Amino acid sequence: MTNGTSPCVLIVNLGSPSSLEIRDIKKYLKEFLSDDDVIDLPKLFQQLILRAFILPFRPKRTKFSYEQIWTGEGSPLITNTHCLASALQDRTGWGVYTAMRYQKPSIEDALSRISRDGYKEVVVVPLYPHNAAATVGSTRKKVESVITNQFPELAFSFVDPFFDKDKYITALASSIQNYLPERIDMLVFSYHGLPVRHLQKADVTGSHCVVTSECCMKECESSRTCYRANAIKTARLTAERIGIPSDKWQVSFQSRVSLAGPKWMEPSTADTLAMLPQAGKTNVVILCPSFICDCLETLWEIDNEGREIFARAGGESFTYIPCLNSSSDFVEGLQSIISESL
């Protein structure tokens, strides 16, 4: 894809503080947690909790966590996203740009560069494989708003969530096989969690989600837009691809945000890691398919805190499988997924 009549690609990831300074961490948390698709509470209540209970205290804890994973190039999430964009551009010759939903590089700045470079059309890739209003939905709203109000001459389209695309499953399976040890008692697919009400709000029928314990196993109109159903399908397809029997893999959910409410998707990854050794499963492999690029939630929450939880509970072997990042299998797969959308 070259400028002129051909479209370019804009890859959008979640975002990260610009630096380890408390003021930058506060800016990031304030923007992120003020998004009504992330914290879908009445605005007054949302902001009261955020300003009175979150922003005065959480930035210091967040700073400590980021310090453990920060590199000389800055935030791993931003670095890994840029590397993915560069690899995709090198492979395809397309014009590939990056933006973050929150903070820098902003969606506004990325679209401004695209417009200045002469492109008339952009294909937007929200870098989330699974449907959720808090990720895919929020990104789409922001991009549409910015283009409508600032770049009305720019045509745009979106790549849909690719949770069950063959090329994505192939890349996940290949990544697992590259790291799989000889002995494995349980393969854990850990996904970012959501409040249960987010699942119910996404139910297009209003009568399917969380009605029964098996609702996410049923293929139907609602399951296509259900985050939990998407996550389970990714795990099942991947396990089948590499030949892992159903009793040796499971799904769990991490990264709860207390501001968002008390009832979250279960089981939690932390609880799962604490209970597995008690069930005699002391050799665990874990990956985080909802994150394309390694970040705070994978490098610190899982590979450090999760590893410690598992070891304290009596676990023996803990293998963390990195995110797909800019692996050749995923770059090839993403090229195919984008091409299909065109």
Domains of the chain, start order: 8-162+328-341 (3.40.50.1400), 166-320 (3.40.50.1400)
* pLDDT value of position 174: 97
* pLDDT value of position 214: 63
**Tokens describing residue 238:** 């991947």
The amino acid present at 250, given as its one-letter code, is: Q
- Is residue 103 a contact partner of residue 30, using CB atoms and an 8 Å limit? no
Which of these, 264, 132, 254, lies nearest to 197 by C-alpha position?
A: 264
- The Cα diameter of the chain in Å comes to 61
Identify the H or E element spanning 286: strand 283-287
Please tell me the distance from the alpha carbon of residue 117 to that of residue 40, in angstroms, as a whole number. Answer: 37
pLDDT in tens, 68-77: 999 999 999 9
* pLDDT value of position 258: 63
Flag residues of the chain having pLDDT under 70: 1-5, 205-218, 220-222, 258-262
* pLDDT value of position 230: 95
pLDDT in tens, 254-288: 987 766 566 899 999 999 999 999 999 999 999 99
Please tell me the distance from the alpha carbon of residue 214 to that of residue 193, in angstroms, as a whole number. Answer: 18
Which of these, 270, 10, 251, lies nearest to 124 by C-alpha position?
A: 10
Backbone dihedral angles phi then psi of residue 229, each to the nearest 5 degrees: -65, -40
For residue 74, give the DSSP letter: B
Please tell me the distance from the alpha carbon of residue 313 to that of residue 282, in angstroms, as a whole number. Answer: 9
The CB density around residue 177, as the number of other CB atoms within 10 Å, is 12
Sheet with 283-287: strands ordered across:
249-254, 186-192, 283-287, 317-320
Please tell me the distance from the alpha carbon of residue 97 to that of residue 109, in angstroms, as a whole number. Answer: 10
Tokens 């609602």 appear where?
Answer: 222
Please tell me the distance from the alpha carbon of residue 219 to that of residue 339, in angstroms, as a whole number. Answer: 26
Please tell me the distance from the alpha carbon of residue 223 to that of residue 228, in angstroms, as a whole number. Answer: 8
Which of these, 84, 25, 89, 87, lies nearest to 57 by C-alpha position?
A: 25
Sheet with 96-102: strands ordered across:
96-102, 8-15, 121-126, 155-158
* pLDDT value of position 342: 78
Helical pair 58-69 and 22-33, crossing angle rounded to 10 deg:
110
